[in-house]
Amino acid sequence: MEQMINPAAASGAAPADVIKDVTMETFQQDVLEASMTTPVIVDFWATWCGPCKQLTPTLEKVVLEAGGAVILAKIDIDQNQALAQQMRIQSVPTVYGFVGGKPVDAFQGAQPESQVKAFVDKLAEAAGTTQSDPLADALGQAKELLVAEEFEGAAGIYGQVVSHAPDNIDGLGGLARALVGMGELDQASEILAQVPEDQADHPDVAAAQVAIELARQSAAVGDLTPLEAAVAADPKNHQARLDLAVGLFGADRREEAIDHLVESMKIDRTWNE
């Protein structure tokens, strides 16, 4: 399968590309999403921290020498206290290594350059073994977020997939579904317009298309109990599923609505043609 491109490694990235100051607002994009394609070293530091003044320059030196194999994200804990609390930072410097959207290694305190280099090499090696197919890994993580109804996070990762692989049908379909979940119906329609006609029956694409139509019909919502009972009694009752999906959209239960649409298509793709 086509590999997602590592822009830094491919072009001899400049320092601005591989060393970044990260905040609570950019953590999702610059760490979690970025680590789907390139390992990210996160340096939690503070201006008053003596050991930080020794470690951070060493990290920067080693990362630059790595030539884009890793990215360094620097986080000032005093400026990002909520993020530091979420990451349970007890002391600084604390350094995490992220691969595939998850922390895989860490250390605390100042370290000599040899140890820092070993940490970077280990992280790059871990990325090589755990991300043999970064595109598939990214799609998997995005799907998990979509199922969990974390639509913004899913849209961010699907967007990265599509930027690297514009014709990837899983990326296009997933992005459209995530945008529908966010209520961005016009944007979802624009994404679906990029889907080739012969791929229109892809489950995510078809579900997103119908979901857009349903979302625009679901202004009034009544009691869903009878419809839920009808579907439970007869899972192949497509009309009941459709009516239930409309009601669920109106109740802002978008993921459940989409699930019912996908299930209907699995049972009978020719229904309602």
Active site residues: 49, 52
| Calpha distance 260→264 (Å, rounded) | 6
| Residue 57 phi, psi (nearest 5) | -60, -35
* Residue listed under structure tokens 């999403």: 33
Render the burial of 130-154: b for 16+ CB within 10 Å, e for the rest. Answer: ebeebbebbbbbbbebbeeeebebb
User: Of all helices (H) and strands (E), which one includes residue 108?
Assistant: strand 102-108
| Calpha distance 153→240 (Å, rounded) | 31
Contact 104, 97 (CB under 8 A): yes
Beta strands in 166-226 (DSSP E): none
| Calpha distance 185→268 (Å, rounded) | 26
